Amino acid sequence: MKVISSGHQDFNAGDLVWGITGWEEYTVIDNPETLFKINHPELPLSYYTGILGMPGLTAYGGFFEVAKPKKGEYVFISSAFGAVGQIVGQLAKITGCYVVGSAGSDEKVNLLKTKFGFDDAFNYKKELDLEATLKRCFPDGIDIYFENVGGAMLDAVLPNMRVAGRIAACGMISQYNLEQPEGVYNTICIVTKRLRMQGFLVFDFYDKYYQIEEQIARYLKEGKVAYTEDVVEGLDAAPAALVKLFTSSSIGKQLVAVARE
């Protein structure tokens, strides 16, 4: 957004900011503490809805603050082509980890390996036995699972975790629209493998945003990370775009361009 007028000492007319607002061309912000100034307008401004905004903050904070990776560890990311997953995978590669992701189409699987540098990836829709698939991808087990899906995927991951593994629970998109949530049956593995599973919200990392913005902006400028967006035009297109999030049909961060300057 661009500030048109402001009565707040931290924001001036003309400032570029990002934050949570309505889907509208003009809005009144009564709680400007939820806004962040945009410090790198030389990069695509749409990135501040993605890799330089909430998804980037979620990915960086969840991976480094919650999962606490070490070089050489084995990392699995579900919904790896999503707005958060594609960033986590690249951060894991920069850290020196072995990275595998799951996605919902062969096109996404190919892009994970070619565009985003994943070591391996698979189309979960084509796998009849997810537990066996993960065993094939991780014969020595998983150190870190970045959880975006829940349900059957989480159940398949648990027996494949290594002792003292960490599960960073970012989201569970497979469960959001179910009338009856799926059960997870392999929870005894949390005990026997001494696992740590921790949920988190992006707001947990708000105090670190500007530090993380600088780091990710540097990675973008150095070509160490890439990002993919799927943009539709106009508010009328918003309902269909929202549905795409739950059908694995969006290619990258799903955006609706409400208005263009």
What was the pLDDT predicted at 16?
96
What was the pLDDT predicted at 32?
87
**What single DSSP character describes residue 89?**
H
Q: 115: pLDDT confidence band, cut at 50, 70 and 90?
A: very high
CB contact burial 72-92 (16+ within 10 A = b; e otherwise) = ebbbbbbbbbbbbbbbbbbbb
What was the pLDDT predicted at 28?
93
* 250: pLDDT strictly greater than 80: no
For the segment 195-236, what is each residue's pLDDT rounded down to a tens digit? Answer: 999 999 999 999 999 999 999 999 999 999 999 999 999 999
Q: Which residues contact 133 (CB under 8 A, 6 or more apart)?
A: 122, 124, 127, 156
54-202 carries CATH number 3.30.465.10: no
Range of lowest pLDDT (13-17, 20-24, 75-79, 195-199): 20-24
What was the pLDDT predicted at 61?
98
CATH 3.40.50.720 range(s) for the chain read: 54-202
Written as six digits, the tokens of 184 are 């997870």
Q: In Å, what is the CA distance from 234 to each residue of 52, 156, 222, 231, 249?
A: 22, 40, 33, 10, 19
Distance of alpha carbon 172 from alpha carbon 175, whole angstroms: 6
For the segment 126-175, what is each residue's pLDDT rounded down to a tens digit? Answer: 999 999 999 999 999 999 999 999 999 999 999 999 999 999 999 999 99
Closest by Cα among 209, 242, 256 to 24: 256
Which contacts (CB < 8 Å, 24+ apart) does range 40-44 have? 40/213, 40/217, 41/16, 43/217, 43/220, 43/221
* 19: pLDDT strictly greater than 80: yes
For the segment 49-96, what is each residue's pLDDT rounded down to a tens digit? Answer: 999 999 999 999 999 999 999 999 999 999 999 999 999 999 999 999
